[in-house]
Amino acid sequence: MSTIASSMRHVRGFDVARPLSIGMLVFMMLPLVFLPLASIFIFGTSNGLDKFWGALSAPEAVFALKLSMATSFWATVFNVIFGLFAAYVLSRYNFWGRNALIVTISLPTAIPTAVAGFALLLLWGPYGTLGRLLAPHGIQMMFTASAIILANIFVTFPLAFGVIKPVFDTMSHSLEEASATIGATRLQTFWHVTLPSLRGAIVSGALLTFARAVGEFGSTILVSGNLAGRTQTAPLYIFAKFNEGQIEAANAIAIVLALFSFLIFSVLFFARDWLDVD
C-alpha cells in the first residue's frame, strides 16, 4: 500500500495511457461513490448549520445514535473475544470437523441480513423455538436492545475472526514453546507473549466489526420492532424519517454515520503500520 508501482517505461515519449486511465477511473467513481456521498453533505447543510444541528440534537435522533453505538459496542466486544478464542482453537488444534467449523463461522457474511433477522425471530420470537420456552418466564429477547445486539453479533460474526486467525496461523510456534521452557503457564504465555503479537489484528478486527455493526439495517429492522426512542438505531431512524418525509432529520444522521465510517477506515488505513509495529 505504501509502495507505489514505478511507472511503466516501456513506451517512448509521453504515455497517454496514464492520464487517460486515471481520469477514467475517477470519472467512473463519480456517479457511483463520490456524488452520492457529496449530496448527503450538500443537502444536509443547504439550509444552514443551525437546521442541521437542530435535526441532530432532536431527542429521538440522539437516542438512535446512542443506541447504535451501545449495541455495536457490545456486539464488538463479544465478537472480538469470540474471534480470538475461535482463532486460537482452530489454528492450534487439528480435529475432525475443523474445516466445517471454519466455514460455518464465515457463513453469516454470505447470508442476506433480512434472512438473518428473520432466523433470529424464528428462534427467539414469542412463538419461536426457544422464545416459546422463555416467554412464560417473562423473558422476551426480541424487540429489545438485546435483539439488536444479537442481530449485530450474527451479521458481524466472522469479521474479527477473519482478521485474527491468519495472524495466529503465521505466528511462530517456537515463541510459545520458548515461553513454556522459561517457566510460564499457558495463561501467562497467552497474556505476555501471544496477545501482544495480536494487538494489531485485535484493533483492526474490532474497528471492522464496529463499523459494520453501526450500519446494520436489514436484520435490525426485523428484530428490533423499530420503536422510536426505544429500539430505533441510527440507520432505522434515517429510514423512518425519510418515510415520514423529514428529509433534513434523516440527512443529519446520515452525515454523522458517513463521517463516522470514514473516520474508522482512515484509522484502519493510516494506522496500519502502527498496528503491526514490532
Partner 1 sequence: MKAKETLIPRPEQSASIADPPPAAASVVGISKRFGKTSVLENISFDVAEGEVLVLLGASGSGKTTILRIIAGLEMPYTGKVILHGKDVTELPARERGVGVIFQSYALFPKMTVEKNIGYGLRIRKRRRKEIRQTVNELLSLVQLEEHRKKYPSQLSGGQQQRVAIARTLAYKPEVLLFDEPFGALDTQTRVHLRREIRALLKKVNVPSIFITHDQEEALELGDRVAVINVGHIEQIGTPFEIYNHPATEYVATFLGAANVLDAVVGKDLLEIGSAQIPATLDPEKFKPGACVKVIFRPEDVSLTRGDFLRPGHARIGVATIEEITFVGAYERLRLRLDHPEECKTDETPYYLTTETPERKPTKSIMVTRPKPEASATRLHVGERVVVALNAFTVLPPQSTKSPN
Q: How far is the CB of 184 from partner 1 (least distance, A)?
A: 5
Do 235 and 220 contact (CB within 8 A), yes or no? yes
Q: How far is the CB of 196 from partner 1 (least distance, A)?
A: 4
Q: How far is the CB of 53 from partner 1 (least distance, A)?
A: 44
State which residue, 172 or 243, has the beta carbon closest to partner 1.
Answer: 172
Q: How far is the CB of 189 from partner 1 (least distance, A)?
A: 9
Q: Cα(276)–Cα(278) distance, rounded to whole angstroms?
A: 6
State which residue, 7 or 181, has the beta carbon closest to partner 1.
Answer: 181
Q: Cα(72)–Cα(74) distance, rounded to whole angstroms?
A: 6
Do 97 and 172 contact (CB within 8 A), yes or no? no
**Residues making contact with partner 1 (CB under 8 A):** 172, 174-175, 177-185, 188, 192-193, 196-197, 199, 278
State which residue, 96 or 127, has the beta carbon closest to partner 1.
Answer: 96
Q: Cα(255)–Cα(266) distance, rounded to whole angstroms?
A: 16
Q: Cα(231)–Cα(70) distance, rounded to whole angstroms?
A: 12
Q: How far is the CB of 2 from partner 1 (least distance, A)?
A: 18
Q: How far is the CB of 183 from partner 1 (least distance, A)?
A: 5
Q: Distance between terminal CA atoms of the chain?
A: 18
State which residue, 109 or 197, has the beta carbon closest to partner 1.
Answer: 197
State which residue, 87 or 249, has the beta carbon closest to partner 1.
Answer: 87
Q: How far is the CB of 206 from partner 1 (least distance, A)?
A: 18
User: What stretch of H or E contains 66?
Assistant: helix 59-92
Angle between helices 113-124 and 145-170 (to 10 degrees): 120
Q: Cα(215)–Cα(55) distance, rounded to whole angstroms?
A: 19
HSE toward the beta carbon, residue 163, CA cutoff 13 A:
25
Q: Cα(276)–Cα(197) distance, rounded to whole angstroms?
A: 8
C-alpha cell recorded at residue 30: 463519480
Q: Cα(123)–Cα(255) distance, rounded to whole angstroms?
A: 35
